[in-house]
Structure 1
């Protein structure tokens, strides 16, 4: 999600030894050593990356280290981390999607945070703590979290005499009525990766389905909804390839009257003076709010050596100080990971997203490390049904 410029000191130190924390002599007489702490995260986009780099730099200085930050795209970071975990060559500090914490912790490559004396779990959203926990040990803490909601174009809804949908019948009727020409009623991501599953879970869970039984009647009902929206031309067939960023672009361009998306879309929407939008909860089939998944990344501290781990913990603590948590959230359009800080956000739309966080559900509940496999099976079934390669029932039967 971002790019960055490494400090020359980090480059010089990293050239000395390919280890996580490096002590390089100052050259000659009496210079002090420079400690370099390696860090890896998925923020390759310029905005998120630069803000993260700035805060890491400040926190590194306080801890007496230089943070050598590296960014790898989210689709590539997990295979890289699993390879590094098997060879015990992980960086000193790692930020990754919360759904993978349990999978990495299972390898024994991470250190539990109680080994650093951390006990303040009550300050964080319950689902955030749950997502970072494996076998009753907390391994990961987020600086920010996110979730999903339904955006709608106020002008389009007003002209059509519609109100934001409160159940699936109203959602379908609004999507159909607002479709025509180059415009579709709703946009979402059904792409063949975790983004597709993440976007679909509010409908899957909202219907009463569970990943432990992916071919249940409730699961079929959810897949049937998305399938009929696309096949009925209320949603574009391109949803099969759209990322969440693509969905935002379609909404901004006026090619979709509604979209399923998260708070990060607000960063772009605020720059669009001619797009008047509203945000409401994703509806459950018969009314009320659907259960929405917890998104976002968490910091984990791999098992390296005591000095590295202690310095990494100092940096993590600094990143999660209220002022840094708020700065990161405000500037990147993500939600602070504690209710106390989330309530301080200046944007009322962001606060409305924050209001949903106490009811979010970790994606790994209840499958734990087995969730990534279940997620892949679900997005594969969704793609098969939408393309017409199989009925929803057939597609989900293969997801067992």
Structure 2
């Protein structure tokens, strides 16, 4: 269905309300498009709420954030948007607080790390919608041929990559620092080296000694020794790295749950282990969540809240998570999934979620900082590149954004 852009959202009789939802597509074909999921959900809700109509428009992840931004700038904000960021809208007082729209039991059921990441100055505006974590995937066949066991530390990973290269493996370790999802691979490596985008009090620390050491190691020990494949990391996108893994051309890479299905379809035997860290298994891993937001403009607070309580029921959260190999964002659905035999493949990711760290999405500057990381981080490990110099430039960009320059 096309979105209703009229602004008021009222149709039919005076008691009828149309809620407009813009959402992201998690499918990779028309057959499994998220449009189908939302249409079924809307039909089920409308059957019990004849005075409320749900109009859903689904866009690809390449377009959805931009589409919503354009709608907001045109004064035509949707009632709800399921997108990648929320804090810039919250900073402009465009969003309902989570406790304005959700019932207490629903809001209290969010996984604690995800709920905390949805807060600005201690107030939750971003409602987590879908989550994932990262683990290290490895090709069991290639490892067996090279006589390898899964790595636990950076040194193990480098030694394994050397052995895989000697066996003629095209990408011993795939390092996707291309623009598609560079912030994720970057943060995964930062965390494994004891750093991150921010320090313990939430201040940007992109050029911390730990992060500089991490990217210096990557440049010298992996990229510089030709262990990351024929495509420069700054030009390698995650989707291409996943496809190469599914084709049997990658020995190791960081991956999220969807890679299981991609690899299985191609008959690749894979294993999964926690992310290697500088001195053993990484103490922290990357968690990612996407956000449901509720815009104030059309004033449908009560109807939005009732519909979102329905969206976040266990049945619907589990249905969405299972359709798209994602992790539930509520504790009750997570408990169901952790005990269900049909979800056993997702358990390693569920276990990681409890110790995961998320992007600093509560910062209204994160969207612009993330965009710079996408554009530039690959230069840090390129021949002639300077990890300390490039990370220092990104830090300067972040500090200026924070100060409003």
TM-score over 0.5 for the alignment? yes
Q: Of 252, 257, 260, which residue of structure 1 is paired with 2:254?
A: 260
1:251 aligns with 2:245: yes
CA separation in 1, counterparts of 2:375 and 2:12?
49
Q: Deviations over 1:291-345 (max 9, x none)?
A: 2222131211101233x23222222111110011111111110011123312333
Query: What's the CA shift for 1:143?
Result: 3.4
Matched, 1:23 2:23: no
- Does the alignment pair 1:230 with 2:198? no
- Unmatched tracts of structure 2, length 5 or more: 198-203, 397-405
The answer for the alignment partner of 1:353 in structure 2 is: 349
CA distance in 2, matches of 1:353, 1:221: 27
Other-structure match for 1:191: 178
Report how far residue 270 of structure 1 moved: 3.5
Structure 1 outlier segments of 4+, above 6 Å:
none
Other structure's SS at 2:22 match: strand
SS of equivalent residue, structure 2 residue 21: strand
Task: Specify whether residues 387 and 104 from structure 1 end up closer, same or farther in structure 2 by C-alpha distance, changes over 3 A only.
Answer: same
Q: 1:172 to 1:182 in 2, by over 3 A?
A: closer
Q: Distance in 2 between matches of 1:262 and 1:278?
A: 13
Q: Is the 8 A contact 1:40 1:93 kept in 2?
A: yes
Alpha-carbon displacement from aligned partner over 1:12-60 (angstroms, at most 9, x marks no partner): xx4xx723523136xxxxxx98643211112163324123432243234
- DSSP 3-state at the match of 1:142: strand
Q: Does 1:375 align with 2:370?
A: yes
Hey, what does 1:302 align to over in structure 2?
295
Classify 1:95/1:226 alpha carbon distance in 2 versus 1 (closer, same or farther; 3 Å). same
1:197 is displaced (CA, Å) by 1.0
Mean CA deviation greater in 35-44 or 250-259: 35-44
**Alpha-carbon offset, residue 201 of structure 1:** 0.6
Q: Which runs of 5+ in 1 are unaligned?
A: 1-5, 26-31
Give the count of matched residue pairs.
376
State how 1:309-320 maps to structure 2 within 5 Å.
309-320=301-312
Q: Does 1:72 align with 2:63?
A: no
Pick closer, same or farther for the CA change 1:309–1:33 going to 2, 3 Å: closer
Root-mean-square deviation (Å): 2.5
**What's the counterpart of residue 387 of structure 1?**
382
Query: Given that residues 44 and 71 in structure 1 are in contact (C-alpha distance below 8 angstroms), is that contact kept between their aligned partners in structure 2?
Result: no
> What does residue 401 of structure 2 align with?
none
Contact 1:111 1:303 in 2 (8 A): yes
